Amino acid sequence: KAISLVLPHLGPKITGLAIRVPTPNVSLVDLSLSFKKVVSKASVQHALKDASKHAFKGIVSIDEERLVSSDFISSPFSAIVIDDQIMTIGEKNAKVLAWYDNEMGYSERLIDMAQYIAQN
């Protein structure tokens, strides 16, 4: 938010976030998205919540709590999106920050793949 105070002419076109992650296994992905249609923060949140309950159930989690990096250690999800870490930039762009345990999440997806192969 401080950048908009320094560069007010950019207004809602720019936003930034700095995060220090002091844990060995947890990482953060900063995902920038561009859409063909106008999107809102609420529409991006809704789409991610829907995906976490259906198509990506057990893979993506949406959390509304304010958590810190160490809270994601041993999480089985490939991505944990904190609801308030979703933002829109202009009308057709969004940024989503997603946390993950880069050992556990990966291992869980290997298990998923092995189960899929065994069933087919």
User: 82-119 pLDDT, tens per residue?
Assistant: 998 999 989 999 999 989 898 898 899 899 999 999 99
**What residues contact 111, with CB distance under 8 A and at least 6 apart?**
none
Cα–Cα distance, 27 to 50 (Å, whole number): 24
What does residue 62 show for φ and ψ, rounded to 5 degrees? -110, 130
Confidence of residue 13 (pLDDT cuts 50, 70, 90): low
Structural domains in the chain, sorted by start = 2-119 (3.30.360.10)
The mean pLDDT of 36-50, rounded to a whole number, is 95
The mean pLDDT of 21-41, rounded to a whole number, is 86
Cα–Cα distance, 1 to 14 (Å, whole number): 9
Is the whole model's pTM more than 0.85, yes or no? no
The mean pLDDT of 33-43, rounded to a whole number, is 92
Instruction: Examine the pLDDT at 56 and tell me if it is beyond 80.
Output: yes
